[in-house]
Amino acid sequence: MAIISDPFVMEVPRKLTDQELINAIRQDIIGELEAIHEYDAHVQATDNEDAKKVLSDIRDEEREHMGELLELLERLAPDEKGLHDEGREEVREMLDK
């Protein structure tokens, strides 16, 4: 039997603390960034237009997931949002002069 069909494989011994959830979301963001990079590499590595179309769409969905996770992270860790906003503002100040 495949492990994915085992309904108990996802059982966890306890719920995550808020800090553990924040760290898990950061790991999820890393996973999305890796997926974006890999799909984009596949798009660049082929001339097959059908494959490019499908892989580009999947890549862009991963980019949306990253945005969803970032929003969730910023809601779970409001201090993080403040730091992200400060970083965005620094870039704007440097580039919009």
Whole-angstrom distance, CA of residue 88 vs CA of residue 61:
23
* pLDDT tens, residue by residue, 42-67: 999 999 999 999 999 999 999 999 99
Task: Determine the pLDDT at residue 4.
Answer: 63
pLDDT at site 1: 47
Please state the separation of Cα 44 from the chain's center in Å: 21
Residues of the chain with pLDDT under 70: 1-5, 7, 9
Confidence (pLDDT) at 12? 76
What is residue 22's predicted lDDT score, i.e. its pLDDT?
96
Give residues with Cβ within 8 angstroms of 26, minimum separation 6.
73
Helices 78-95 and 49-76: angle between axes, nearest 10 degrees = 120
Contact 68, 29 (CB under 8 A): no
